[in-house]
Structures are given as C-alpha cells and as structure tokens.
C-alpha cells in the first residue's frame, strides 16, 4: 500500500513512524552531521519486525543482511567456544 504513495508522502510517513526510534538509538547521535543525514535518508527503508522469543537472527560467520534497532525487549548474545 505504501509503495503506491508519492515518494514525499511515503517519506513523511516513515519519518513519523520511525523518527523516535532513530532518535532513541543513542549510538547514532555520535555520528558527524553528514553521516546523520545519511542515517535519516535510510528511514524510508526501515521495516518494523516483531520476533518471537528464542529466535536466532544471526550466527557467527554469516553475512548479515539486516541491522536491528531494538525498540523494546531484550537480546541475548551467545558465543560458541
């Protein structure tokens, strides 16, 4: 449905939907101004994902195809030795 909207309206909706999430990702606040503009330009590509407990989202040596910003809940990290 969003894909059928004009690009400016789609961007406005994305900023409204994900703006607080981006602002709350404190590690992004340390970027230089030019880099922050790049981060904000990526907002239109964000997708909300809800994952069940005990789901593995990444394994060692896999090529990552996504970046996750945790809005609520917790994440456990396990390292196999």
Domain segments of the chain as ranges = 2-45
Instruction: Report d(CA 18, CA 23) in Å as an integer.
Output: 9
- Closest C-alpha among 48, 56, 49 to residue 75: 56
- Comparing 4 with 57, the larger pLDDT belongs to 57
Helix (H, G, I), strand (E, B) or coil at 40: helix
Report pTM: 0.54
Q: Region 14-27: what's the mean pLDDT? A: 72
Higher model confidence: residue 6 or residue 26? 6
pLDDT at 36: 65
Position 33 scores a pLDDT of 60
Per-residue pLDDT of 25-77, as tens digits, reads 777 666 656 666 777 677 777 788 888 888 888 888 889 888 888 878 888 88
Quote the distance between the C-alpha of residue 50 and its chain's center: 12
């Amino acid at each position: 449905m969003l894909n059928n909207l004009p690009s400016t309206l789609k961007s406005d909706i994305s900023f409204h939907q994900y703006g607080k999430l981006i602002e709350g990702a404190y590690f992004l606040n340390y970027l230089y101004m030019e880099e922050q503009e790049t981060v904000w330009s990526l907002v239109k590509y964000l997708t909300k994902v809800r994952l069940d407990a005990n789901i593995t989202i990444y394994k060692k040596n896999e090529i990552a195809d996504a970046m996750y910003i945790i809005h609520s809940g917790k994440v456990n990290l396990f390292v196999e030795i």
